[in-house]
């Protein structure tokens, strides 16, 4: 038998380190080549590292939340044959036997866990080992609340669920018990990256916001017509592809809004390409996949590429290239609606557009009350480099295109 030492590989895109966000194997586990070993969070994406060999896990290095440099041994295996390292080399580095993604108070008052708040179509987050155990024990993961990072279900969560019994059955019997104890959830992985980026954006950028209502009645008629006559295999159109194409024209007229601001050099960098980031909520948190060179696409290509990159982000398959390089960002609140928001700019960009849902509203036209389909837009701008007039003008230009959709394609 030999020892195989596996070092954190070069993930590419200039990545020099990664944060451990989940382990998929335990000490002593028997694994096969290509089995998932651990999840590592880089600046942009979470990458699942596969097992390089068949063997038995001997050591692991790195707790959840710990940063590992590329090239550092992260796991060792006992394998058939000679392996690739000596036991002396393998034992010269610190060994982490257990990771501790969360700490729970040890209060033993048994109360049923709160039912999961995930939507009915959301896939529960859990490691393959947890999923296998749940299947073997007949446990429905959709009913279990996860206490791990990003709501990941742990073995301890399964234990708590079994000890407390079904909360649905328990809810109808006897008086409710007062709850005690706390749960500490470390800010790690994507949640840490989001926190760092939001703090950087809000601390460095002097935000100002601007709101507007847009009459999209004509746009809705065009959207429905195009969907009913769309080519075979073409994606169904939402409002976003139209907004993206309208932004191409609006940003071309107001190039100061399609820019980055380099804080350290105090330089404004205007971009010729229009690369639109699409803020996308996933089970793991918020990602911003990027549709590159929208100015070179037609409406159908825009819709198809937007669907591709956002689906890749939701499934966890998006590459670093697909998650970087945006020059302007759109955040859509979709069916949640709302009357307004103050979106935080995606640093180092200088503007962001918030899109709310469209709904029928009573409005006055030529002295008469009529029903029109109204969409609310929210925007935020970096007031250090974008004057109030410039940001407002961009939104007004966009409004004009959306209210007269034929002009988007002229």
Q: List active site positions.
A: 383, 387
d(Cα 145, Cα 193) in Å, to the nearest integer?
Answer: 23
Using left for φ > 0, alpha for ψ between -120 and 50, and beta otherwise, residue 300 falls in: alpha
Query: What is the torsional sign of CA 366, 370, 371, 376?
Result: positive
Q: Are 276 and 294 spatial neighbours (Cβ–Cβ below 8 Å)?
A: yes
Q: How far is CA 166 from CA 130, 169, 280, in A?
A: 18, 5, 33
DSSP letter for 172, please: T
For 4, the enclosing helix (H) or strand (E) is strand 2-7
Q: Pick from 282, 302, 303: which is nearest to 293 by CA? A: 302
DSSP letter for 126, please: B
Q: Kindly give the pairing relationship between strand 328-332 and strand 276-282.
A: parallel
Backbone angles phi, psi at 382, to 5 degrees: -85, 105
**Range 313-320, long-range pairs (CB < 8 A, 24+ positions):** 313/280, 313/282, 313/287, 313/289, 314/280, 314/282, 314/283, 316/46, 316/48, 316/282, 316/284, 318/45, 318/287, 318/289, 319/45, 320/11, 320/12, 320/13, 320/15, 320/42, 320/43, 320/44, 320/45
CB atoms within 10 A of CB 77: 26
Q: Pick from 328, 323, 327, 335: which is nearest to 289 by CA? A: 323
CA angle 300, 304, 306 (to 5 degrees): 115
């Amino acid at each position: 038998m030999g020892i195989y030492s596996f070092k954190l590989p070069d993930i590419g895109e200039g990545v020099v380190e990664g944060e451990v966000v989940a382990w998929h194997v335990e000490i002593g586990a028997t694994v096969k080549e290509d089995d998932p070993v651990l999840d590592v969070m880089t600046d942009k994406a979470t990458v699942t590292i596969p097992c390089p060999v068949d063997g038995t896990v001997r050591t692991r290095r790195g707790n959840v939340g710990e940063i590992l440099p590329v090239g550092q041994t992260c796991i060792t295996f006992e394998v058939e044959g000679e392996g690739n390292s000596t036991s002396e080399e393998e034992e010269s580095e610190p060994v982490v036997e257990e990771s501790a993604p969360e700490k729970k108070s040890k209060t033993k008052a048994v109360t049923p866990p709160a039912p999961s708040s995930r939507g009915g179509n959301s896939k529960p987050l859990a490691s393959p080992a947890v999923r296998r155990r749940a299947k073997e024990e007949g446990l429905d993961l959709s009913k279990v609340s996860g206490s791990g990072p990003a709501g990941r279900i742990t073995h301890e969560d399964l234990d708590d669920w079994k000890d407390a019994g079904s909360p649905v059955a328990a809810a109808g019997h006897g008086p409710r018990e007062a709850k005690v104890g706390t749960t500490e959830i470390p800010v790690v992985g994507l949640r840490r990256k989001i926190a760092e980026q939001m703090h950087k954006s809000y601390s460095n950028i002097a935000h100002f916001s601007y709101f507007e209502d847009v009459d999209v009645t004509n746009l809705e008629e065009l959207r429905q017509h195009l969907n009913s006559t769309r080519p075979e295999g073409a994606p169904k159109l939402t409002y976003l592809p139209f907004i993206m194409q309208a932004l191409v024209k609006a940003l071309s007229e107001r190039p100061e809004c399609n820019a980055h601001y380099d804080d350290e050099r105090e330089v404004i960098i205007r971009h010729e390409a229009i690369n639109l980031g699409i803020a996308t909520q996933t089970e793991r948190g918020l990602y911003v996949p990027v549709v590159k060179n929208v100015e070179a696409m037609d409406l159908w290509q825009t819709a198809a590429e937007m669907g591709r990159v956002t689906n890749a982000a939701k499934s966890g398959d998006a590459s670093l290239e697909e998650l970087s390089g945006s020059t302007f960002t759109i955040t859509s609140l979709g069916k949640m609606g709302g009357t307004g928001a103050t979106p935080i700019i995606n640093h180092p960009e200088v503007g962001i557009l918030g899109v709310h849902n469209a709904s029928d509203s009573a409005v006055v036209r030529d002295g008469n009350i009529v029903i029109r389909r109204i969409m609310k837009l929210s925007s935020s701008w970096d007031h250090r480099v974008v004057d109030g007039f410039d940001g407002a003008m961009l939104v007004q230009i966009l409004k004009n295109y959306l209210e007269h959709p034929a002009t988007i394609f002229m």
